[in-house]
Amino acid sequence: LIEHGGTQARAVGQIAFPKSGQAYTVGLTGAPGAGKSTLTAGVVATLRATGDEVAVLAVDPTSPFTGGAILGDRVRMQEHALDSGVFIRSMATRGHLGGLALATPEAIRLLDATGFPWVLVETVGVGQVEVEVAGAADTTVVVVNPGWGDAVQASKAGLLEVADVFVINKADRAGVDETRLDLEHMLDLASSSDTDWRPPIVASVASTGDGVGDVVAAVGDHRQWLEAGGRLEAKRAGRRRAELGAVLTERLTERVRALEGGVALAQAEEAVAARRVDPWAAADELLASLD
């Protein structure tokens, strides 16, 4: 329902909101094929070993009626398919007007409200919305691979800013040290103060499970840091504020969209085309007519 958006999604959201706020959310993002799903499966296994239940949202930005990625995720997370303590959903927006940016927080809240103590969100770190979605977690894990340039690509994609933990996955390949140096260097340039959190850099081989425990430990360290001094609550409050802004914009866009095909808009277009009115004045008039 949430993927489709509309009034039913709202009804679900209204029930979920007051029951939410307990789950810890972890975003995992990085370039296509970096090993996010494999790593996520490993993280799920580690968390399950403590007895905690885990929900995974694999956000698929590529297709509104998603195809390939779902199959891939199912295969990579197959070991958890029969575990009733694990919920895995590959999510596409289908019809939600606000797109992934608005649908994902609602989906996370629902999973939170149903009692999962952990919600993991995997997105491909290409595109502003996907990075934004992954960054809107309590802890964001950015996955890169060894080799010159991968860290630079991550930086260009805006992943540096959202990273709380860096993982150099596929550490069975050459170039781990170079990538670590690249990341350290970029963190040096970006660091603003000594009291800020400096993202740790962890190496892993997700396909064998090596280092996955270190990734979970680094997430735990960041969580502890956030929970000290009320940082976690402040971060979540900031997120809700940003969400309000996005919802407002979306609601206004919906109302403007409702003008399409109507007489008022056609007349305004005609007036602007004929130079009788300037575009700003025409827009103000149309907006006033919405009320």
Chain residues binding ligand GTP by CB under 6 A are 32-38, 69, 72, 76, 124, 169-170, 172, 205-207
Residue entry with tokens 């929900």: 55
The tokens of 55 are what? 């929900």
To 5 degrees, how large is the angle CA 173–CA 59–CA 196?
A: 65
- Residue 187's contacts (CB-CB under 8 Å, 6 or more residues apart) are 160, 198, 199
CB of 284 to ligand GTP, least distance (A): 44
Residues 192, 195: Cα–Cα separation, whole Å = 9
Which residue number has the CB closest to Mg ion?
Answer: 37
Based on CB atoms, which residue is closest to Mg ion, 70 or 277?
A: 70
To 5 degrees, how large is the angle CA 26–CA 32–CA 38?
A: 55
Taking CB under 5 A as the rule, does residue 139 contact Mg ion?
no
Q: Are 229 and 235 in contact (CB under 8 A)?
A: no
CB of 219 to ligand GTP, least distance (A): 17
- Map residues 16-55 to x or -, x wherever contact with Mg ion holds by CB under 5 A: --------------------xx------------------
Taking CB under 5 A as the rule, does residue 179 contact Mg ion?
no
Q: Are 284 and 290 in contact (CB under 8 A)?
A: no
Based on CB atoms, which residue is closest to Mg ion, 20 or 140?
A: 140
Based on CB atoms, which residue is closest to ligand GTP, 71 or 237?
A: 71
Residues that bind Mg ion (CB under 5 A): 36-37
